[in-house]
Every structure is written in C-alpha cells, then in structure tokens.
Structure 1
Amino acid sequence: MDSRTVALIRTTFKAVAAEEGGSETLARSFYSILFTDYPGVRDFFPAAMDAQRDRLVHAISYALDRLEEPDKLLPFLAQLGRDHRKYGVQPAHYVAVANSLKSAIRGCVGDEMWTDEVAAAWDEGLANISGAMIGAADKETSPAAWTATVVECREVLRNLSIVRVQLEHPMEYAAGQYISVQVPSRPRMWRYLSPANPANSNGEIEFHIRSVLGGWVSPAIVSHTTVGDQWLLGAPLGGLGVPRNTKRKMLMIGCGTGIAPLRAQIMAMAQRRVNPKVHLFVGGHHPCDLYDLQVLSQLAVANKWLTVTPVTEHEENPWWYYDSGEPQVELPGLEPRMTGQIGKVVAAFGPWADRDVQIVGSPSMVQTTKFRLMAAGTQAKSIRHDPLF
C-alpha cells in the first residue's frame, strides 16, 4: 500500500477513536451489523461480548499502526490466521467481517468524510490483512486446535493457581510465546495464557493463572479447574524469544504471572551451551506475589549468566495472606529484594544501553515500565513486548 492509502485509513479510524466513546460505538456498531447481515457468524462468538469488543478495537489499532512495517505486521497477521482456524473460519467469513467493519466506520464518520477514495483505501487495506491471514492458514499443516487434559491444579495464592496439562499431541511453540485457551466452563471464551516451560516431546505445559477481578475466564479457571478437565488450545502466538548465538545481553522484566514466558525462555536457554548475560527483575505488589522464587533460585544457581532481582511495591504481605510464622529461608542465587514500583526501580539502574529488553505484565505495567526506561535512555527499538490486548 502506498502512503496515501495508509494515511486515509488511519485518518478515518482516528476520527472515530478521537470521539468520546467512539471506540466503543464502533465496536458495538460493527458487531450489530455483522450479526444482523450474517446471522450464522454469531455462533463463533461468546454470549458475553464485552471483552471481545475491547479486543477488536485494540487489534485494529495495532494492525493500522504497522501498515507501513510489513516485517512486523505480516508475521502478526500470519499468526492470527493460523490461530483463527480453531473457530472454523472460512474465507467467506473474512468478507463478512470486512463489509461489516467498513459499514460501521462509515456510519461513525458520516458520508461527508467517507469518500470513494476512502472506501477504496479501506478495501485495499482489509484485503491485504485478510489475504495474509487466509494465506497463512491455508499453508499451515499443524492441528487447528489441540486437546489437553488437566493433570495438576495447585493453588499458590487464593487468587493464583498453577495448572499443568497434558496435550493429546505435542505442540511446537517457541519459549516466550502465548496460547489461546478454552476451558469447559466458558465455551467460546478463548483467553491467552503463556506457557511457563519450553515445548517438550511429552506435550506437557504449565500455566500460571491469576484470577482477574470481574473477569469471565480466569476466576473460573482458578476456582473450578479439576484434574481430568479437557481444555482446547489454539496455535501459538507472539514474538518474544532469545535467538540462538545472540551476543546481546538481555534485560527481562516480569510482574505477577508475567514471569511465565520469561521463565520458559530462561529454561530453554539453560539447555544451550553458551548464553549472553541475562538480568531478570521479577515484581509483585507484595512479597507473597513472588510465588516462583524457588524455581528462579534454582535456575540462577545453575546458570551463572543469570541474575535475578526480586522487587515488591510493599515490604509486608497483605492482611489476608496466611503467614505460618516460620522464619523465611533465604534462597541462594537471588539478589536482595528491592522495594518500589518495578519500572522505577529498573530505570534507576541506568539506560541499559547494552541490553535487549523484554517486558511482560499487565498493559499498564508494560506501558509505564517502557516509558520509564525510555526516559532513562533506553532506545525504543531495543524494547519488546507482546500486543497489549
């Protein structure tokens, strides 16, 4: 696409997003048109659409921001195309989505702004996006979805569980990627979870799940998962990872269950002969949120290239956390725990100019940490994180 086409697409989308409540209006209008004009498509979506509407706008925005960066956009679209096979999506469904999205945007911006040139630009942009997704899906030979059986569910905190599943067929994924998951109690509500271990020939995956207040899926997983449950898993997504033979040192920053994809990468690196130095900052609100320090301690002791610094915002645990009263055992291989907001703590070390940076956590944590690092002198091109939706 030429720059004129990209500019027209972005201008009309931003005109909608700039209005108060514009993004929500667009999402509601899109799904209303889609389900009215193509009623058969409704069966692909969950009954509750709140999260789905938010995800739609974020995904569109993410793609539009990268229209002139095919090296970043095309791999993302290819992954999405492979992942959407789990729904049973066919090329005709992409046409339905494109038509409905154009109608929704036209309704939001009005006929005065929606010129023939703008319509043609959107036709070209959506055709390129859907073409990339369809092409990747057609070339894929792996299963559309994997069946997995829960073999262990362990409560770590009252709102956090570790779940291990056994895949019916092994899945090839890169350490650091994430996977869409559907659980029995929430049909058609797919949620993204990051494996906390590298792929293995036994098809065993460990997930760390925190119950999100007001969420539909995570509370159901934490509260109701039992051994023997059958889960469905989609194709792996995401671009985090440490290339083999890289000489660049790494800075990894993870909060809460965001430690999972970072831990998986470190475990994968531990199987290599040579690695660059890695400094991992693992954060939480309270000391009890650092639930995986035992494993990280073992990894740090066994791998001298790894430095692990725990960080908490508060010195003490919350009132609801049961403390046995036993003295805390100091874990070997770990740096002394620091107190403060993790982005601020990490940025205080300096610009980290010699490091490639990965940040994993909530969207607000990722954005705040990224801005603090950039303010400290870290180059934006050195910072990586997954799409924030």
Structure 2
Amino acid sequence: MSNLSRLLKESWTLVEEQQDKLAGYFYARMFLDNPQLRDLFPVQMDVQRSRLLGAIVTAVQTVDDPERFGEYLQALGRDHRKFHVRPEHYDAVGTALFEALRTHAGDQWTLEFDQAWRDAYAVIGAKMIEGAEADSGNPPYWHAEVLHHERRSRDIAVLTCRPLQPLEYRAGQYVSVETRYQPRLWRAYSVANAPRKDGTLDFHVRALGAGWVSSALVRRVGPGDMLRLGAPMGRMTLDRRSTRDVVCVAGGTGLAPIKALIEEMTRANRTRWVHVFFGARDRDDLYDLACLNRLAARYPWLSVVAATSDDPDFPGEHGNLSDIVARYGPWNNHDFFVSGSPPMVRATLRTLAEIQVPAIRIKYDAFGDC
C-alpha cells in the first residue's frame, strides 16, 4: 500500500460513520459559495448525496490500482458531461470537499491528511477532465425514444428505446437515465441486450417505494416518450481472451446485464459453459424466466437455475441465492458475474470468498433503482 493510499484510508475512517452529515455539509458549502451550481443538480438531493460518497470511496479504494483508478475516473468524467460540468467547477467541488472532511474529522485531522486529499483530488480532477475531453466527439447525453413498454409484474417493466444518435457500449455496461417527469434526476440502469444493428436498448426496471425515476419508468413512461441517456459506464464486461467457464448470479432486475452478456455469447461462444442463477422473492419477480429457459433450450452450453426466497410453492430452488450458488460448485476455475441489489451482491461476494473463488475472477456493479 502506498503512503498516499494509507493516508486516504486512515483519514476516511475518521468520517466514515458520518457520511450523510458529511455529504449534506459538502453540498451546503458548495452551493453557498457557488449558488450558480445549484441548477446543475436535481431538486431532490438524497440519492445524489450518496452517489458523491460512493464515488469518493471507490476512488480511495482504487488509488493503488492505476489502471482501474484511471478508467473509473475517466468514465466518471464522461458521465458528468450530462450535468454540464466544466473544468473550473472542479475547484469549487474540491474546496467544499476539503472543508467538509476537516469539519467532520475534527481535532484528529492533520496537515498530512489534508495534503493527501489535495494531492489525490488533483489527480481525480485531472483524470475526470481528461475523460470528458476525450469524449467531446459524443453528445453530453443521448435523446432516446421509447418504442415498447411492457409490464412484466406488479412493479417491473421492460422497455425498449432507440437513441437518436449512435450510442456505443459493451454488453454488461450501464447508463444513467433521466425522464421528463423528474428533470435533472438521473438513475443508473444496465442495458439488457448486447449492441444491435438497429441501435435499440432494453431496460429492466423495478419501481421501488417512492423511487422517483423507477416509478416513472414503470408506471408513467410509454411509447413515444423521450428519455435522456448518459455515457456508458461499468466494468462488468466479458474478457474475450478468457477460456474459463462462466457463472452468472442475478437477483431480480439485476438480470439485465446478465441477459446482455448471454446475448453476446450467443454470437461467439463455442467452448465456454455458462451457468445462470436467477433469484427473486417470488415467481412473479422471475419476470424473464421464460425467455431464459428458451435460450437454455436453444444453446446447449447454457444452463439456468431459478430460485425464490419467499415462495414455498415455487417448483425450483428455495433460499438465499448465494447459498444456492455455493451448493452447486465447485467454482474455483470459473469467471463470475454478479448483479443485483447491493445487499444481494455483498452476500454473494462473501459466499464466493468463503468458497475460495479468486476475487480477480469476479465482476460486479451494484446500485439500486430509485
């Protein structure tokens, strides 16, 4: 571990238990000093606060992995073009961040910690600006027309849209989505198909509680509506050089990127077995199981295991998906893709660590619908 990484991680422990207060102070300070920046952000700031902290934690955790660190920040810079962020805005963000960290760490904050964050933020800002500039040939966001909208269960919909300009991405990646019903409020959704010649994109969306964007996408959006899509992000993509067999673990609408990866493999796979574990609370939430079973019947290299946690009459596996995956092993020599809610992903990662699956062979993106 480098000295910079050590200082960042040590200092983060001083504020980690105060993340909500830290984020609230950060935004209040930034908007007070730079009121013109407020219009770049949504009216509802609850999820935006957690996303800031998620980005900080990810950057801190990857600082000793230059390739991953650089890729993540460049992608983040590309994605932030949709907010019309300009290079000069990074100074305002940094000033507010340093003050928030100092305030909430209190007397334990040192000049050494302060300099470490300034050094790290200088690199973060430079990499994000670099990523944004490299993407200048693309629009800051894509306008996309909804072509089809199908309710698959009480709170799940599958929709297909077509961007008005070409949007290049890889199977397994996600984009952020904005609707006209909640301007400036963006939420991340995985694309549920591999790239197609007609450019269309599928999204699997669950309406969660008072989720502003997910509820609109499930209950209000229909054919003819326009969406705005951010730049593609995510590392949960196939390594085409690998010859290892594949295990995909999908919880609920976490099936979306898994579906895209399977679709990509139907075009090229000749040697790799693919095992899909698809879990949900009950059979209604296994909204795309019939399609998975049809794919398994068509491609002999694909197998599907479905499971429910709260449906005792379901004619399949029962229990927590991570426990079921462990029972079907051994999996020591497989590539893993894990997608679902953050608790589901964390539980699966713990189980895979217990059965000694090397972390380097596990890819995942965890985020919740809102």
Q: 1:358 to 1:83 in 2, by over 3 A?
A: same
Q: CA deviation at 1:373?
A: 2.0
How far apart are 1:291 and its partner, in Å? 1.2
Q: Is the 8 A contact 1:351 1:378 kept in 2?
A: no
The answer to whether residue 65 in structure 2 is matched with residue 74 in structure 1 is no
1:37 maps onto 2:33 in alignment: yes
Match of 2:190 in 1: 194
- 8 Å contact from structure 2 (residues 176, 188) kept in 1: yes
**Structure 1 residue 259 corresponds to structure 2 residue 258:** no
Deviation at 1:273, TM superposition (A): 5.1
CA gap 1:90/1:275 in 2 versus in 1, 3 angstroms: farther
Aligned residue in 2 for 1:114: 109
The letter for the 2-side match of 1:124 is D
Higher deviation after alignment, 284-293 or 307-316: 307-316
Query: In 2, distance between residues paired with 1:185 and 1:10?
Result: 39
CA distance in 2, matches of 1:269, 1:381: 21
Deviation by residue 1:146-188 (Cα, 9 ceiling, x = unmatched): 1001111111111111111111012111000000000110111
Structure 1 equivalent of residue 6 of structure 2: 7
Give the alignment's TM-score, normalised by structure 1. Answer: 0.90
Deviation at 1:223, TM superposition (A): 1.2
Question: How much has 1:317 moved relative to structure 2?
Answer: 7.4
Q: Pick the aligned partner of 1:315 from 311, 314, 330.
A: 311
Q: Measure the CA separation in 1 of the matches of 2:166 and 2:157.
A: 23
Give SS of 2:138's match.
coil
Distance in 2 of aligned mates of 1:246 and 1:364: 28
**2:108 counterpart letter in structure 1:** M
SS at match of 2:324: helix
Aligned to 1:130: 125
Stretch of structure 1 that moved more, 124-133 or 209-218: 209-218
Gaps of 5+ in 2: none
C-alpha displacement of 1:91: 0.6
Change (3 A) 1:258 1:117: same
The within-5 A match list for 1:262-341 is: 262-272=258-268, 274-316=270-312, 337-341=316-320
Contact 2:341 2:366 in 1 (8 A): no
Q: Which amino acid aligns with 1:136?
A: G
**Equivalent residue pairs, number:** 367
Q: Which residue in 1 is equivalent to 2:355?
A: 376
Q: Give the share of equivalent positions with the same residue, in percent.
A: 37
Q: Which runs of 5+ in 1 are unaligned?
A: 319-335
Q: CA deviation at 1:215?
A: 1.6
Shift of 1:5: 2.5
Larger displacement relative to structure 2 (42-51 or 238-247): 238-247
Task: Provide the TM-score with structure 2 as the length reference.
Answer: 0.95
Q: What is the CA–CA distance in structure 2 between the aligned matches of 1:113 and 1:4, rounded to whole Å? A: 18
Instruction: Output the amino acid matched with 2:218.
Output: V
Match of residue 205 from structure 1: 201
- Residue of structure 1 in register with 2:15 after alignment: 16
Identify the range of structure 1 (3-12 vs 224-233) with the bigger mean alpha-carbon deviation.
3-12
Q: CA deviation at 1:387?
A: 4.8
Structure 2 residue identity aligned to 1:105: L
CA distance in 1: counterparts of 2:255 and 2:291, whole angstroms? 11
Aligned twin of 1:83: 79
Aligned to 1:329: none
Q: For residue 380 of structure 1, report the CA deviation from its aligned partner.
A: 2.3
What SS does the corresponding residue of 2:15 show, helix, strand or coil? helix
Residues 286, 317 of structure 1: 8 Å contact kept: no
- The SS at the match of 1:271 is helix
Counterpart residue identity of residue 10, structure 2: T
Residue 272 of structure 1 deviates from its aligned partner by: 1.0
